Structure 1
């Protein structure tokens, strides 16, 4: 069996660049993210040997070895992959020790779809580097024309051009399908929509109780994910989520709800967007509450029990899930550039759905709008925020952009870019 067995069907991921780079300078690389997002296949593109902890024929032997002689599970040509290492958390310390013993880069790859309930004895700092992986962006799933580069916009490119035929109907499908590699490659659209629903069922009925060994009610898990889906792309507080559950006669204590949400974070199912705190000309209270997001908007659609047609009939919900899709893709593209994604909202109502900030301090402001007809509103909002930022401290934003489902990419007369998310790439 070859590590490149599925190479002909493998759709390259942006995270591959990060894995390759980190293997060149550090002893071990951990690839972490939600299950089914493609971690194992990506890791196999770089591995020369592997140990699959969830192999049903060998699982019990592997767990026994992990407790008695973990070094046996590390044997194999480098880079050696240990898939789903969190099933035996002691392997983290074994890998760390092995790297200390032989200080060579690129020895191990680890994948994990959950944060282990019991933390390893050592952090792995300086020995193990972590790479976060998301479900596929539209560029990776080949649903983007990839004519507009985020890197080029940051580097001052002003000749922004491109065209996507994606309309709101197609976008509704892309939201509900999500970026799950298996869904992306299925030829039947109806079948591809089932993956997110199956994912939700697996999380609610199995994984949420396995995350930390605490038995949880699948019905409550579904209801909590449904309530979380109702507040996607908003700064709803955890207290308001608890209150909304009580208003629906779901009488769970705050600690219980918090426990479910913590388990969903541990499984990389939910992934909040932190607030950006720039220096401003005028004093203003910035909302520090994170924006609520699932790791893929398809989970929200599945939790709400809606498909593309129902989503089209509810433009308010579709707008929020479209924003969440844009955040997912910006996270993937920004990661390649060494950047992070935030949100901004203040008491005066000025906001940016997403702020991408690079390590060198450059930043860009984004608004997500369901069509180019709403680009004016998005541009006005971004320009109003731009005027409020103290550029003597922060510098001018590298650019401002309104993200739409499809249509033409262009630079407006006011300098704001209009970019279909289905034209964007890293």
Structure 2
């Protein structure tokens, strides 16, 4: 079936189609998960024969009255924003187990299930994560280097020239990966992002049973988290940054629910610490790196401007980091894209950091067999010997299990250094 007019295919659509292709032989249900407004419903509607939108009172009434009747309609059956009627989840699971009705089923939601016993694989609901638009999806037709090919371990040729430079990447930090916001004028886009964040506080938290006693304090905590983007700052440091100047600091039991709810809403998208499965590297830390779902949310929370970032402005309360805050936001933008490309290739992504902090690598992309690609993200046009120090160290530690080593830059030329390390402008890396 051709796409609807105006619909732009997403990378995750390939994964979704592959799962649905098994439907004639295997009952299947797919849950498209991710933050609100990233395009989950659009992708699902493209494939659904029957759709129920549970944030619509009339659709909610139909599904609440008779779930079995709703699920027996022409398939694929889409239940959008399923969390408005949680019994749908277990009923779909039973339908998949019993092949009655046979499906396929699509579930979309902006809240991670809690206590629903989510499972993946045949016979259960498959969780498929969707993230905001990648750089390849924002700038189609520019990628000349495939992450999947890099994961193949053959050290493919790295070449290409990017038409984009630093100012373009800075604009993308504000343009957002939320599809519906990109075409808006800058002032209206900023207002929409502010409204998005306020809805999280005013509506989403209470809907999950967490009425903030002090909404302003929650907003300050979110702002402090944004200031810690691409760092492993402790939760105590984030809390202290959010309560600067206050003699009485809120207890951990007060602020930790902020993190838990925001993760369930997919507003936070932390990057886990990497644990090697094939090689033992002593004394690696496991704290996650802090990232929001989209760097544009960080710029909105912190009240930043493109001109200010380019001039070197640093947000108040920014966590200690090597390099500029702009560099951290660029890393977050690249991380968002790499996670999408890796997921499409069946790989996972983490970061490497030693306990003393003397060894750090921004991104480790791991295949199912434990072999990896190591990626450093640098806000510069080329890669110096200093920039690849930790990549060389990991190559010594891992040997052939390191499939490739890469530096992602904001420059224009893709190439391999004399030591074999690939240098790739962010716009040229694709799935």
Distance 1:407 1:101, change over 3 A: same
SS in 2 for 1:11: coil
1:308 aligns to what? 306
Distance 1:235 1:220 in 2: 22
> Structure 1: where are the runs of 5+ without partners?
none
| Residue 66 of structure 2 is aligned to residue 69 of structure 1 | yes
Distance 1:73 1:213 in 2: 31
* Cα-to-partner distance string for 1:193-215 (whole Å, 9 max, x where unaligned): 54433322222332222233534
Q: Does 1:329 align with 2:327?
A: no
Give the match for residue 320 of structure 2: none
CA, structure 1 residues 143+123, in 2 after alignment: closer, same or farther (shift >3 Å)?
A: closer
| Correspondence list, 1:29-108, <5 A | 29-56=30-57, 58=58, 61-62=61-62, 65-66=63-64, 68-102=65-99, 106-108=103-105
SS at match of 1:8: coil
Superposition deviation, residue 187 in structure 1: 6.0
**Structure 1 CA distance for aligned equivalents of residues 294 and 403 of structure 2:** 27
Quick check: 1:90–1:120 contact (8 Å CA) kept in 2?
A: no
**Secondary structure of 2:30's match?**
strand
For 1:135, what is the secondary structure of its paired residue? Answer: coil
1:65-108 deviation digits (Å, cap 9, x = unpaired): 52x53223323211100000011110011112222332686521
Q: State the Cα deviation string for residues 328-358 of structure 1 (Å, max 9, x = none).
A: 0010000000011000011251111000001
Aligned match of 1:110: 107
CA shift in 2, pair 1:248/1:326, >3 Å:
farther
Segments of structure 2 that go 5 or more residues without pairing to the other structure are: 314-323
Partner of 1:146: 143
Aligned counterpart, 2:328? 320
* Aligned counterpart, 2:319: none
Structure 2: how far apart are the matches of 1:174 and 1:77? 40
Change beyond 3 A, Cα 1:244–1:190: closer
Within 5 Å, give how 1:141-180 maps onto structure 2. Answer: 141-142=138-139, 145-155=142-152, 156-180=154-178
Aligned runs of 1:185-264 on 2, under 5 Å? 186=183, 188-249=185-246, 251-264=249-262
Deviates most, 236-245 or 286-295 = 236-245
Instruction: Give the match for residue 412 of structure 1.
Output: 417
After superposition, the Cα gap between the structure-2 partners of 1:171 and 1:230, relative to the gap in structure 1 and judged at 3 Å, is: same
| Corresponding residue for residue 352 of structure 1 | 361
After superposition, the Cα gap between the structure-2 partners of 1:271 and 1:283, relative to the gap in structure 1 and judged at 3 Å, is: closer
Q: Is the contact between residue 211 and residue 266 of structure 1 (CA under 8 Å) also seen in structure 2?
A: no
Within 1, Cα distance between the matches of 2:261 and 2:130?
18
Decide which of 263, 271, 274 is 2:269's aligned counterpart. Answer: 271
> Do the aligned residues in 2 keep the contact of 1:351 with 1:381 (CA within 8 Å)?
yes
> 1:362 and 1:124, CA in 2 relative to 1: closer, same or farther beyond 3 A?
closer
Query: Do the aligned residues in 2 keep the contact of 1:32 with 1:111 (CA within 8 Å)?
Result: yes
**Distance 1:269-1:144 versus aligned 2 partners, 3 A rule:** farther
User: Any idea what the Cα deviations from partners look like across 1:383-411, whole Å, max 9, x if unmatched?
Assistant: 12322x244xxx43111111112311111
User: Does the residue aligned with 2:157 lie in a helix, a strand or coil?
Assistant: coil
Aligned residue number for residue 379 of structure 2: 370
Describe the SS at the equivalent of 2:133.
coil
Local SS of the residue matching 1:9: coil
Is the 2:142–2:427 Cα contact (8 Å) retained in structure 1?
Answer: yes
1:142: how far off? 2.1
| Equivalence for 1:422 | 427
**Equivalent residues of 2:223, 2:242 under 8 A apart:** no
Alpha-carbon distance between aligned partners in 2 of 1:59 and 1:273, rounded to the nearest angstrom: 36
Deviates more, 1:186-195 or 1:123-132: 186-195
Residue 20 of structure 2 aligns with which residue? 23
| Number of aligned residues | 413
Question: Given the alignment of the two structures, is residue 120 of structure 1 paired with residue 116 of structure 2, yes or no?
Answer: yes
Summarize the Cα distance change of 1:147–1:195 in structure 2 as closer, same or farther, 3 Å threshold.
Answer: farther
Are the structure 2 counterparts of residues 253 and 143 from structure 1 closer, same or farther at C-alpha, using a change threshold of 3 Å?
A: farther
- 1:18-53 Cα offsets, whole Å, 9 max, x none, are 111122334211101000000000111211111110
CA-atom RMSD in angstroms: 2.5
Cα contact 1:158–1:411 (8 A) shared by 2: no
- Partner of residue 321, structure 2: none
Counterpart Cα distance in 2 of 1:416 and 1:123 = 39
**Cα deviation 1:153-195 (Å, max 9, x = unaligned):** 22224321111122222111101222111123x1645544544
Gap change, CA 1:408 and 1:190, over 3 Å in 2: farther
CA change 1:204–1:24 in 2 (3 A) is: same
Give distance in 2, aligned partners of 1:281 and 1:70: 49
In structure 2, what is the Cα distance between the partners aligned to 1:268 and 1:282?
Answer: 32
